[in-house]
């Protein structure tokens, strides 16, 4: 069998023609390194707890941890928004909670993208209510045009326009989280 036929039988996911690259792996790494340095500088001498929001932030937090030269802890939380119709109510649900108490801790929430802001405004209030001494937010992507609820983003990777993006942890119907770069999905129905 020729190479061409083999390639047709197993098309590349990473070079999928329905994807328009937005940020390369190199651009992402450079920005994550800068954010890590900023956090290490801002939290020098403290012992913050980074809380990754599953699943979207899994790759971002993995890289950010290694870019942050600081004594720190890591936890994960998983949140689900209710169905589309209920999203506007801002009603969200914790589907996997933290394993530890956070009273008196300096918390840094690590999120993939802030869109309407509903999820994070709920989560930040929830973490404050548990007695955290500070709660800051780092988001890789900020889709500001879509904001419905104001959310203070303390560290942001990139501002993006109102289009649906995937890769580097972000999914479209659970697909594309494994892309090493971030891309816009050209045709969501393809």
Least distance between ligand IMP and beta carbon 166 (Å): 6
Q: Which is nearer to Mg ion, 48 or 52 (CB)?
A: 52
Please, what sign has the CA dihedral across residues 99, 120, 45, 34? Answer: positive
Site string for ligand IMP, 35-74 (x = CB under 6 A): ---------------------x------------------
* Residue 48 binding result from ligand IMP, Mg ion, none, given CB thresholds of 5 to 8 Å by partner type: none
The residue annotated as part of the active site, out of 63, 115, 142, 162, is 115
Distance CA 143, CA 27 (A): 18
Decide the pairing of beta strands 106-114 and 92-96. Answer: unpaired
Residue 164's SS3 state is coil
Six-digit token pair at 158? 């990139």
* Residue 115 binding result from ligand IMP, Mg ion, none, given CB thresholds of 5 to 8 Å by partner type: ligand IMP
Backbone torsions φ then ψ of 7, nearest 5 degrees: -65, -40
Distance CA 27, CA 141 (A): 13
| Cβ-Cβ contacts under 8 Å for 12 (sequence gap 6 or more) | none
Answer yes or no whether residue 165 interacts with ligand IMP by CB under 6 A. yes
Check if 115 is active-site. Answer: yes
Distance CA 84, CA 96 (A): 20
Least distance between ligand IMP and beta carbon 14 (Å): 17
Q: Return the range that interacts with Mg ion (CB under 5 A); candidates 23-31, 32-40, 52-60, 102-110.
A: 52-60
65: Cα separation from own chain's centroid: 13
* Residue 142 binding result from Mg ion, ligand IMP, none, given CB thresholds of 5 to 8 Å by partner type: none
Interface residues with Mg ion (CB under 5 A)?
56, 112
Chain contacts with ligand IMP (rule: CB under 6 A): 56, 111-120, 164-166, 170
Where in the sequence numbering do the catalytic residues fall?
115
């Amino acid at each position: 069998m020729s190479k061409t036929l083999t390639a047709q039988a197993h098309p590349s996911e990473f070079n999928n023609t329905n994807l328009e690259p937005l940020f390369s792996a190199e651009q992402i790494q450079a920005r994550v390194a800068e954010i890590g340095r900023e956090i290490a500088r801002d939290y020098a001498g403290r012992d913050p707890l980074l809380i990754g929001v599953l699943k979207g932030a899994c790759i971002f937090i993995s890289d950010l941890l290694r870019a942050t030269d600081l004594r720190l802890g890591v936890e994960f939380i998983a949140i689900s928004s209710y169905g589309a119709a209920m999203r506007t109510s801002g009603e969200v649900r914790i589907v996997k909670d933290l394993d530890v108490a956070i009273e008196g801790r300096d918390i840094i929430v690590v999120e993939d993208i802030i869109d309407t802001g509903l999820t994070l405004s709920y989560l930040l209030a929830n973490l404050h209510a548990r007695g955290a001494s500070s709660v800051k937010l780092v988001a890789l992507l900020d889709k500001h045009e879509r904001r419905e609820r104001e959310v203070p983003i303390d560290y942001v990777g990139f501002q993006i326009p109102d289009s649906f993006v995937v890769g580097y942890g972000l999914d479209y119907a659970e697909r594309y989280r494994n892309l090493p770069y971030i891309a816009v999905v050209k045709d969501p129905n393809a």
